[in-house]
Amino acid sequence: MQIEVSRDVFPLAQVFTISRGSRTEAQVLTVQLSEGGHQGRGECVPYARYGETLESVTAQIEGLPDRVSREALVDLLPAGAARNAVDCALWDLEAKRAGKRVWQLAGLPEPGPEITAYTLSLDTPEAMRAQAAKNAWRPLLKIKLGTPDDMPRLEAVRAGAPASAIIVDANEGWSAEVYADLAPHLLRLGVQLVEQPLTAGADDALAGLERPVPVCADESCHDRSSLAGLKGKYDVINIKLDKTGGLSEALALRREGMALGFGVMVGCMVGSSLAMAPATLVAQGARIVDLDGPLLLARDRDVPLLYDEKGVHPPEAALWG
């Protein structure tokens, strides 16, 4: 088996800002596995918040043995971006060799389109109202907050898109007191979910806190080993393949999380359609789907995912799986 890893850069359609900073492009790593005339691909987005860089993740992938299986990969790489790209490439390679789709190999029902959130970049209230008005036809909008001036922004988005459902991502920028103070206003404005209001590792204050607006664990939830520490603090878990280390663990996390009573959100980093493609399988029937990465790009893969009024569609085999 030949393992190749390359760096790809996708310019964004516009500057994308969250409370941690701004970006104008998505830098991703693409893994291609070749064996017996077949190729499988996967994509990951190294994330500085988790101590990852393009260089460190490349080194992890290049340090793998010539032959590797999905089962062996769990012991060779930790949950994270490197394992994600290789795991998804192995699924794709197996599907190509078998002449089947990944959903068939995984014993899943045939997937269909799912409505996805569309993320509005953090900006001034006036600019965010304009963004919201431009996207008011979308059924679900996601707002990046986590600043001292969140309420004017939220009010502006609701005014710009009065009919859209709204979810909020605080990106670890709030405290328990801020959440409690804002909760009545969030309810009034129809917010359906708040992602990661408190810093991961310092979120014990959520335990026993009344949560009239459901709270979702993002940075606090990586793989199944995270679940024990989330009970009583969170209502929903955000499953991202770059955190779980690939589709294999993402599917297992979904099953175990639901069995423990957590709602499921399926999210993404800012990447191309190749990164979203495996996640569409995890997203089937999820409470919230947030796979809008390609919608933020100025250009995408040669065979992109289809987005339309029904949502994000599963990939064609030429893209993945």
Catalytic positions are 144, 240
CA dihedral 117→122→123→129, nearest 10 degrees, is 20
**Among candidate residues 139, 138, 115, the one with its CA nearest the CA of residue 291:** 115
**Whole-angstrom Cα distance, residue 51 to residue 114?**
31
CA atoms within 13 A on the CB side of 101: 17
Integer Rg of the chain from CA = 19
**Whole-angstrom Cα distance, residue 182 to residue 168?**
12
Helix (H) or strand (E) holding 43: strand 38-44
- What residues contact 309, with CB distance under 8 A and at least 6 apart? none
Helix (H) or strand (E) holding 23: strand 21-35
CB 122 within 8 A of CB 144: yes
**Whole-angstrom Cα distance, residue 295 to residue 300?**
9
CA dihedral 159→164→170→175, nearest 10 degrees, is 70
